[in-house]
A and B are shown apart, each in its own frame.
Chain A
């Protein structure tokens, strides 16, 4: 039976915990930052590399490597931007961290700033997260009042400022280059890469964009013995604990902190309490709506980056959406494609057109106008979006379409057979 392993949620799961600066310090907070100020930035990056942590935002890129790509001695300032534009359907873990333990994330953010030589970090929070934005602004104010932010945090002489920046509602701004355009005060449209943000990011300066949960792991990784402990929480290349957002037809939906060597079945039937109303499992969308769907037969697998990649799906942002036997998957896919049609930024033709076409074809099925030919066409429209766009939204729209058609063809046929 799966149980939580508490690293990030150590404070949150303590009912007596007070999330104020004083409360966080009492629980041992900001000690690691003090230690980090005594290290060289390169040493910090090296430790993060050794921990093996992979970005928790969805792509799973190694964080230490990302930081080591930052262009040096360019004569321009360097920036660290926290990606708190949590918009992938199913994902609600960063909100949990920001609302309930803001200083854990902020300490990680400050460690990250020091590691990449950034003196002014930005936290890009999605605009709808009003309560999280307020919590973060209050926490940042506390840090300024305490002297932990400003010209001389902890006597280090390292000038450090943080600004909480609100987005205004656009899924695409979770893509790092679109996020940077949005932060610059433009429409959030992904950029042509290269150059990558590490060379030319915010206002053309070297920038690292990191997910909230990734940064929140830093105080643990950089603490004494943290690297080895972090590595022990999962198999090689899938280190650490991660926050799993569990939703859909389970008895106990919620955000849980789990090791990376936990079986998906244990998550659904153990910690998730099984399928509600005694129903049977039909399938799972394992890593946010952009990942390929899995059938009930496929869920006996370890829930981590590499094991899910082996079966042609992905961990993404670790957002598991569980659905039961009564679910109409054609309607479910229609809702998913509606999302992408709404959120496509309109820049690349395959995605701008393809997301609408696919939604319209599925609507045809729902209206009783489906056919074998249309099912094939749906698959083809999906295929034409794969790898043909500047950012991953095209792929994100295509993968659910192709996997639903492949794994649940009978459900589509029900709409037009006889």
Chain B
């Protein structure tokens, strides 16, 4: 965290990278305690941090599953089956985008363009890209991760 702070002229500039770091440290979500800590580090009020956290889609205020499936359904992906892929995933895991399975293993998020359009349909699992994903590939992946 302190390595990050020295890369910027003003401490506030490091706010977003430090929040991402804090979120990673806390298993993928932010609590008020963490936000307060980051606010102190970056010398900004807590309300400013809350304003930033609620603006960006990557910050989460509730815990995601161990495997966070981020399925893209934006224009190029929806042309080649992204929407159907999301529906398949929801059905397979018996939950909806925005929710986590009861065992805490999987959460699903419907994504706007993730920038892998020429390899659509695409998704991100935690931090890894998966490209040209078919329902079969998705089923295999989920079965594999469930073990």
A87, A90, A188: the one contacting B76 at CB < 8 Å is A90
- Do B113 and A247 have beta carbons less than 8 Å apart? no
Q: Does B79 contact A (CB under 8 A)?
A: yes
Candidate in A86, A131, A167, A253 with the most chain B CB atoms within 10 angstroms = A253
**B57 — which chain A residues lie within 8 A by C-beta?**
168-170
Cα-based distance from A345 to B7 in the complex (angstroms): 28
Cα-based distance from A95 to B51 in the complex (angstroms): 29
Q: Does B104 contact A (CB under 8 A)?
A: no
B10, B73, B75: the one contacting A184 at CB < 8 Å is B10
Q: Does A321 contact B (CB under 8 A)?
A: yes
- Do B13 and A321 have beta carbons less than 8 Å apart? no
Q: Does A404 contact B (CB under 8 A)?
A: no
Cα-based distance from A335 to B45 in the complex (angstroms): 37
Size bracket of the B interface: 35 or more
Known pairs A168-B20, A187-B55; A130 contacts B117 (CB<8 A): no
- Do A285 and B116 have beta carbons less than 8 Å apart? no
- Do B117 and A91 have beta carbons less than 8 Å apart? yes
Q: Does A313 contact B (CB under 8 A)?
A: no
- Do B112 and A321 have beta carbons less than 8 Å apart? no
Q: Does A339 contact B (CB under 8 A)?
A: yes
A87, A129, A185, A327: the one contacting B79 at CB < 8 Å is A327
Q: Does A150 contact B (CB under 8 A)?
A: no
Cα-based distance from A96 to B143 in the complex (angstroms): 30
Known pairs A168-B57, A184-B10; A127 contacts B20 (CB<8 A): yes
Q: Does B58 contact A (CB under 8 A)?
A: yes
Task: List residues 58-73 of chain B with CB under 8 A from any CB of chain A.
Answer: 58-59, 70, 73
Known pairs A203-B9, A247-B117; A289 contacts B75 (CB<8 A): yes
- Do B115 and A87 have beta carbons less than 8 Å apart? yes
**B51 — which chain A residues lie within 8 A by C-beta?**
187
Closest B residue to A187 by CB, please name it.
B55
Q: Does B124 contact A (CB under 8 A)?
A: yes
A166, A170, A185: the one contacting B44 at CB < 8 Å is A185
Candidate in A91, A92, A163 with the most chain B CB atoms within 10 angstroms = A92
Within the complex, the shortest CB–CB distance from B52 to chain A, in Å, comes to 6
B14, B117, B129: the one contacting A90 at CB < 8 Å is B117
- Do B115 and A92 have beta carbons less than 8 Å apart? yes
Within the complex, the shortest CB–CB distance from B71 to chain A, in Å, comes to 13
Q: Does B78 contact A (CB under 8 A)?
A: yes
- Bitwise, B1-15 to A at CB < 8 A (1) or not (0) is 000000111101111
Q: Does A267 contact B (CB under 8 A)?
A: no
Closest B residue to A124 by CB, please name it.
B16
**B112 — which chain A residues lie within 8 A by C-beta?**
87, 89, 171, 339, 342-343
7 example contacts (A-B, Cβ-Cβ < 8 A) are as follows A77-B9, A166-B20, A186-B52, A248-B76, A249-B80, A319-B117, A339-B75
| B interface residues (Cβ-Cβ under 8 A, vs A) | 7-10, 12-17, 19-20, 42, 44, 48, 51-52, 55-59, 70, 73-76, 78-80, 111-120, 124, 127-129
Give the 4 A-B residue pairs with the shortest CB-CB distance, closest first: A185-B15, A168-B56, A169-B57, A169-B58
| A interface residues (Cβ-Cβ under 8 A, vs B) | 77, 86-92, 94-95, 126-131, 161, 163, 165-171, 182-188, 203, 245-249, 253-255, 285, 289, 319, 321, 323, 327, 332, 335-336, 339, 342-343, 345
